[in-house]
């Protein structure tokens, strides 16, 4: 196992946690950082306290700032860079891939400019190599994965062989990995739940209770499912780890950057001030703008997403946004989700 080379791209909290997890399994992963200084600090101190404080990084993890050194001859490359950096990083690293190199995407987002999912960006860049793409998603806080807390996730690929390979690489006694062929559903579930987590955070910041949070999560999952089905995803995927599971953990935990940012907005901070308070990438901000545009292009009603967009980008009042959602016209529930029973 240790002889297999695996590269993890991105030395933020999630990339670091995955490298720690792989080292715990017996691999010696390369952890790529944009910063040579950060790479040196990780190797010298065995810590990454800026992004994953209090976690000891095993000696088997080799942090590097040279992309070619990290990627060349790797059997699998795990991309844990933020979604907005995915295109540039993959475009720069693909020339170092060998035939059959598996790309496991661990980021959750939608391209703001093109409205593409990350698998679509990979397909555009890599063409015939698309069968080697897989996406990792599910309820998995870096802080808990890095300490070995029991976690269940899902990996999706259009290629069963690639999904099984990713499962074999990642699965351990404390990190259970399921497979799925619904790439669109897994990607959209993982990306769009960050919008709803912003909403539950705003609700908490406003002082609302559990009823409000439950309503936002349930109806948020309904609109995510509507958009997902329009994109060709299976509704069952949104009842699984990449949908409901990730929704629960991201909307309720203080590990969630999106929820924390939402809380700050609910307490009166501007969106820019909320981002400064969190001090790390909050994927839900960019995803909200992309999903708002995508829902318009596809003609899909997403009322919660629309109200959060107005709060983030049109200086809408959070309390008035809740009132607007509560004051909408009468609806049916199940048919509104789009599943015919």
Residues marked active site are found at 193
Measured distance CA(37)–CA(16) in Å, rounded? 15
- State residue 211 phi and psi, 5-degree precision: -60, -45
Which pair of tokens denotes residue 330? 């009468």
Q: E strands of 48-111, at which residues?
A: 62-64, 76-79, 102-105
Residue 319 burial (C-beta neighbours within 10 Å; 0-12, 13-18, 19+): middle
Instruction: Concatenate the DSSP letters of all residues of 115-153 into one string.
Output: --BHHHHHHHHHGGGGGGEEEEESS--HHHHTTT--EEE
Measured distance CA(181)–CA(193) in Å, rounded? 20
- Angle in degrees, CA 157, 158, 162, rounded to 5: 50
- Angle in degrees, CA 76, 245, 288, rounded to 5: 85
Strands 133-137 and 151-156: antiparallel
């Amino acid at each position: 196992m240790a002889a297999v080379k695996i590269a993890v791209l991105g030395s933020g909290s999630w990339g670091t946690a995955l490298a720690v997890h792989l080292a715990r399994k017996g691999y010696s992963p390369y952890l790529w950082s944009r910063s040579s200084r950060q790479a040196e600090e990780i190797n010298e101190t065995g810590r990454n306290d800026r992004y994953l404080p209090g976690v000891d990084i095993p000696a088997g993890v080799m942090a590097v700032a040279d992309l070619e050194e990290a990627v060349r001859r790797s059997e699998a490359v795990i991309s844990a860079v933020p979604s907005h950096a995915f295109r540039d990083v993959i475009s720069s690293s693909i020339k170092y891939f060998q035939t059959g190199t598996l790309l496991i995407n661990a980021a959750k987002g939608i391209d703001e400019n093109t409205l593409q999912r990350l698998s679509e960006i990979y397909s555009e860049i890599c063409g015939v190599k698309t069968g080697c793409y897989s996406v990792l998603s599910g309820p998995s806080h870096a802080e808990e994965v890095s300490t070995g807390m029991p976690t269940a996730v899902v990996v999706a690929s259009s290629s069963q062989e690639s999904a099984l390979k990713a499962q074999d690489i990642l699965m351990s006694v404390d990190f259970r990995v399921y497979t799925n062929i619904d790439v669109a559903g897994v990607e959209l579930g993982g990306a769009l739940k960050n919008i709803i987590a912003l909403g539950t955070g705003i609700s908490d910041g406003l002082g609302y209770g559990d009823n409000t949070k439950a309503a936002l999560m349930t109806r948020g999952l309904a609109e995510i499912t509507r958009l997902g089905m329009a994109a060709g995803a299976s509704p069952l995927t949104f009842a699984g780890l990449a949908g409901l599971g990730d929704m629960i953990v991201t909307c309720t935990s203080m590990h969630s950057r999106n929820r924390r940012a939402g809380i700050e907005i609910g307490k009166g901070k501007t969106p820019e001030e909320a981002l400064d308070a969190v001090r790390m990438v909050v994927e839900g901000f960019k995803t909200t703008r992309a999903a708002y545009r995508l829902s318009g292009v596809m003609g899909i009603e997403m009322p919660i997403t629309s109200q959060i967009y107005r709060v983030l980008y049109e200086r809408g009042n959070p309390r008035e946004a809740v009132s607007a959602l509560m004051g909408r016209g009468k609806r049916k529930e199940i048919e509104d989700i789009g599943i015919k029973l």
